[in-house]
Structure 1
Amino acid sequence: MSQHTARSASGTGPDTGWAAGGTLFAGVLMLVIGVISILEGIAGIVEDEVYLRVGGYVFSWNLTAWGWIHLVLGVLVAVTGWGILRGMEWSRYLGVALASLNIIVQFLFLPYQPVWALFSMAVSVFVIWALVSTESHRPA
C-alpha cells in the first residue's frame, strides 16, 4: 500500500477537508458559470450591440461569434458541472479541460466584459484545483 493510498484511507489525505468539499463546490460553480455563459451567449447572439468593447484589442471578433462560443461552452460546462455533482468519473477530466478552455476564452473576451472575465478565470482556476487535488482514491 503506497503512502498516498494509506493517507487517503485513514482520512488525513487530500480526499478530506477543503479538497473534498471543493469538488462539490466546483460542480456547483461549473453549473452556475455554465448557465451564466448560456445567458451571455444568447445575449450576444440576439443583440450584437449588447457588449461594448474597451479599447483596441488584438483578438476582436464579431459579437455573434462570441455569443455562439459562450453558448456552446456554457452548455458543455453546465452539463459537466451536473456530472460532477452526480459523481460521474468522466466529468472530473472533462471539467479540468473545460475550465482550462474557459480561462482561454475569458482571456480573449476581456475587452468586452473585463470584470466578469477576470472573475470567471479565477473561478476556473479554483475548479481545476478542486478537481485535480481529489484523486479518485475512495475506499471501496
Structure 2
Amino acid sequence: MPLLLSGVLSLLQGIAGIAKDRLFGVPQHYEYRFDLTSWGWIHLVIGVALVIVGVAMLRSVSWGRAAGLTAAAISLITQFMFIPYYPLWSISVMALDLIILWGLARIAIA
C-alpha cells in the first residue's frame, strides 16, 4: 500500500508540474535545475511505475519486491533532487520512500 500512496503522490506532483502550476518555486542556482514541465514528466513516469509495482506487490507477483526496491530508490533520488522546488512535499515523499525501502529490504532479508 505505501508504494501506491507514493505513486499517487508522485502522479499528483507530476500533473502539477506539467500544468505549470504556480505551486512550485524556481531556484536560481541549482545543478539539477530543469523546467517544471520536465520535472512534471519525470514525476509522472515515476508515479506510474510506482503504482504498477504497487499493484504487482498486492497481487504477489514474483518480481514485485525487486521492482519495488528499484522504483522506491529512484523515487527517493528524484525527490531529493526536487527539494529546492517544493521542500515540504519532497521531504514527506522521501520519508515515505525510505519507509518503503526499509520494509521491502526487511521482507527480502527475512
TM-score of the aligned structures, taking structure 1 as reference length? 0.71
1:46 aligns with 2:15: no
Number of positions where the alignment pairs a residue of Structure 1 with one of Structure 2: 110
Note the residue ranges of structure 1 that are not aligned, 5 or more in a row: 1-27
**SS of aligned partner of 1:133:** helix
Per-residue deviation, 1:50: 3.6
Tell me, yes or no, if the aligned pair for 2:9 and 2:93 is still in contact at 8 Å.
Answer: no
Which has the greater radius of gyration? 1
- Name the counterpart of 1:11: none
Contact 1:55 1:111 in 2 (8 A): no
Does structure 1 retain, via aligned residues, the 8 Å contact 2:18–2:36? Answer: yes
Confirm whether residue 87 of structure 1 aligns to residue 60 of structure 2.
Answer: yes
CA contact 2:6–2:97 (8 Å) conserved in 1: no
Match of 1:71 in 2: 44
Give the RMSD, CA atoms, in angstroms: 1.8
**What SS does the aligned partner of 2:83 have?**
coil
Q: Choose from 96, 100, 108 the match for 1:127.
A: 100
The letter for the 1-side match of 2:68 is: G
Structure 2: tracts of 5 or more residues without a match: none
User: What SS is found at the alignment partner of 1:134?
Assistant: helix
Aligned partner letter, 1:84: M
Distance 2:27 2:33 in 1: 11
Where in structure 1 do 4 or more consecutive aligned residues deviate above 6 Å? none
Task: Using the aligned pairs only, state the percent identity.
Answer: 38
* Alpha-carbon offset, residue 58 of structure 1: 2.1
Q: Secondary structure at the match of 1:30?
A: helix
Q: Distance in 2 between the 1:115 and 1:39 partners?
A: 15
Q: Give the counterpart letter for 2:31 in structure 1.
A: V
